[in-house]
Amino acid sequence: MGEARRPYRREPSERRRDDLIAAALAVMAEAGPGAMTVRTIAERAGISAGLIRHHFRSKEDLIRAAFAAMMDRMTETTRQVAEHHPGNPQQAIAALVSSSLRPPVMEPERIGQWAGFLNLVRQDPVMRDLHEAAYLKYRDMLQAHIQQLPGKEDPRLARHLAIACNGVIDGLWLEGGTLPHSFAPGEVERIGLSAVSSLLGIDLLAGFERE
């Protein structure tokens, strides 16, 4: 009985790295940081466990790359959403709030993924820098849109408002994603639009039903 070795295909390193990053993010989202072992991630990526350390210097290295990819994707998505409304800061902000408080952004798996990395951020300086840079980038985009609103040109005022808006978006995202069945469908999104409207003194709910 010859014990057959598993057949395989050779792939370029970049492809394997991408697959491993995707697998790591999926495992984090579905099963949390406790399941982030090299064997589980490798199985998810469809390769053997030892291969991870052929494409990444260590497990920690893979996790950092996965975290960076997640943060990149989030800010890029946000940028694209707001980009659809050039020269219209009000609609850009409304689109940004709505996309943040709807699936697939506001979902239990996303919260789990984000929370799972948050622990590691606290103890790894590299990840802390990645996290801070992504947060500030997001907030700066928000502030830039707010500054385009009439009467909100003062950067200090716009900064405060951006922090507050970012806070309410994050907080609602967290509540809605953690306790999905405590809210009616679309309720969190409506509350978010209403709250940001109050903060900025505008009306983001005007064309809401039509979207």
Partner DNA sequence: GGGCTTGTTATACGGTTGTATAACAACTGG
Partner DNA sequence: CCAGTTGTTATACAACCGTATAACAAGCCC
Chain residues in the site for a copy of itself (CB under 8 A): 31-34, 108, 111-112, 115-116, 118-123, 131-132, 135-136, 160, 163-164, 166-172, 174-175, 178-179, 182-183, 188, 191-192, 194-195, 198-199
28 sits near DNA (criterion: CB under 7 A): no
Nearer to a copy of itself, 135 or 208 (CB): 135
* String of DSSP letters for the chain: ---PPPP-----HHHHHHHHHHHHHHHHHHH-GGG--HHHHHHHHTS-GGGHHHHSSSHHHHHHHHHHHHHHHHHHHHHHHHHTSTT-HHHHHHHHHHHHTSTTTSSHHHHHHHHHHHHHHHH-HHHHHHHHHHHHHHHHHHHHHHHTSTT---HHHHHHHHHHHHHHHHHHHHHHHHSGGGS-TTHHHHHHHHHHHHHHTS-TTTTTTT-
Min dist. Cβ of residue 118 to a copy of itself (A): 4
Q: Which of a copy of itself, DNA, none has residue 121 at its interface (CB below 5 to 8 Å by kind)?
A: a copy of itself
Nearer to a copy of itself, 45 or 106 (CB): 106
Q: Which of a copy of itself, DNA, none has residue 198 at its interface (CB below 5 to 8 Å by kind)?
A: a copy of itself
Q: Which of these segments, 3-11, 111-119, 128-136, 142-150, binds DNA (CB under 7 A)? A: 3-11
Q: Which of a copy of itself, DNA, none has residue 50 at its interface (CB below 5 to 8 Å by kind)?
A: DNA
Min dist. Cβ of residue 16 to a copy of itself (A): 26
Residues 167-206, one symbol each (x = binds DNA by CB under 7 A, - = not), give: ----------------------------------------
Binding to DNA (CB under 7 A): which residues in 31-60?
36-40, 47-55, 58-60
Angstrom distance (rounded) from CA 34 to CA 146: 40
State the burial class of residue 21 (Cβ atoms within 10 Å of its Cβ: 0-12, 13-18, 19+): buried
Which residues make up the interface to DNA (CB under 7 A)? 3, 5-11, 13, 16, 36-40, 47-55, 58-60
